[in-house]
């Protein structure tokens, strides 16, 4: 199955089951959980179902495009279901069936794998889902995000897109995967993952292992942190502040891939990212709680009124 077909089927499947189809967030990040659709979506009481693709960067996993299984950047398909439905495991299995997996011939296991993101102040319990011996998904019941209890609890499903594609097609090399087909007047041209991404893998690996300016990254880390706290404290802006936390996290990953962070420094640096992320989570919830329906209506009416006024002046 082509990569794009797999993504389209998952999107169709989850849209049909009442999920919003979201988009990747346009900042570097290590996992789909960091997307605000999940980070803020998992907080608070409002119902929230969303599914989206997230390109995820792990600088230390870069292999210059030479390793057939490991890459600097891979695609995650992320689903958040809040509150977690009673039949969530069955829903997940049906989504695999929608990809053409016939469970009369395959082995499926849910093996304990608890998830924790120290830089987001988030943790949950769950499983890695193992199909015929391969981990194809991570399944988590969020217990805390941004240092705050999740009430209700969200279920998070994360599919490894490339892995599932390789597995279904029996590919031995990630770069041989077919992303999709380009059809022109001259014919049909399949485009491989390698054609789309191999050079990118090479350059990004070289960047994270060789060319990244470490002093610059250290400076950037400090600057993003300062900027984040300024936004949060002086303006109460948790979304723009959260972006700074994401930038800190990626900057840290670049430094870490180079071995520029010692084991003793590490927890302290992660804590600095977490503190900002937790600050954003708290500010978000305070904002949500303060936003009573009446206040929201008033705000809407006010905007509407302003627009009319504008219209009137025209």
Applying CB under 8 A, the residues found at the interface with another protein are: 63, 67-70, 83-86, 89, 93, 103-112, 114, 124-125, 127, 131-134, 141, 143, 150-153, 155, 167, 170, 172, 262-264
The CB-of-77 to another protein minimum distance in angstroms stands at: 20
Of the two residues 165 and 246, which places its CB atom closer to another protein in the complex? 165
Of the two residues 87 and 309, which places its CB atom closer to another protein in the complex? 87
Of the two residues 176 and 181, which places its CB atom closer to another protein in the complex? 176
The CB-of-208 to another protein minimum distance in angstroms stands at: 16
Q: State the residue for tokens 């002093």.
A: 215
The CB-of-75 to another protein minimum distance in angstroms stands at: 17
The CB-of-128 to another protein minimum distance in angstroms stands at: 11
Of the two residues 143 and 244, which places its CB atom closer to another protein in the complex? 143
The CB-of-113 to another protein minimum distance in angstroms stands at: 9
Of the two residues 161 and 246, which places its CB atom closer to another protein in the complex? 161
The CB-of-19 to another protein minimum distance in angstroms stands at: 17
Of the two residues 127 and 238, which places its CB atom closer to another protein in the complex? 127
């Amino acid at each position: 199955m082509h990569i794009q077909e797999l993504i389209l089927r998952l999107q169709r499947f989850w849209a049909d089951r009442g999920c919003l189809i979201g988009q990747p967030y346009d900042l570097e990040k290590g996992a789909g959980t960091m997307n605000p659709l999940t980070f803020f979506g998992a907080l608070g009481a409002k119902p929230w179902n969303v599914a989206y693709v997230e390109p995820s960067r792990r600088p230390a996993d870069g292999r210059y495009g030479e390793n057939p299984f490991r890459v600097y950047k891979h695609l995650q398909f992320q689903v958040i279901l809040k509150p977690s439905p009673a039949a969530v495991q069955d829903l997940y299995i049906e989504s695999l069936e929608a990809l053409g997996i016939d469970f009369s011939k395959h082995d499926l296991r849910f093996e304990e794998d608890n998830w924790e993101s120290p830089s987001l102040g988030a943790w949950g319990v769950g499983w890695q889902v193992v199909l015929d011996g391969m981990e194809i998904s991570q399944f988590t019941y969020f217990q805390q995000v941004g240092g705050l209890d999740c009430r209700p609890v969200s279920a998070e499903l994360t599919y490894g897109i490339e892995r599932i594609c390789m597995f279904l097609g029996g590919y031995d090399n990630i770069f041989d995967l077919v992303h999709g087909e380009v059809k022109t007047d001259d014919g049909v041209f399949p485009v491989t993952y390698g054609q789309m991404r191999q050079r990118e893998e090479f350059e990004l690996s070289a960047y994270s292992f060789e060319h990244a300016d470490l002093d610059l990254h250290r400076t950037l880390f400090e600057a993003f942190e300062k900027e984040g706290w300024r936004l949060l404290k002086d303006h109460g802006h948790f979304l723009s502040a959260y972006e700074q936390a994401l930038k800190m996290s990626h900057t840290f990953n670049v430094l870490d891939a180079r071995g520029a962070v010692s084991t003793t420094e590490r927890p302290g640096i992660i804590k600095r990212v977490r503190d900002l992320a937790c600050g954003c989570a708290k500010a978000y919830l305070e904002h949500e709680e303060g936003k009573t329906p009446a206040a929201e209506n008033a705000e809407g009416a006010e905007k509407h009124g302003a627009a009319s006024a504008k219209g009137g002046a025209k």
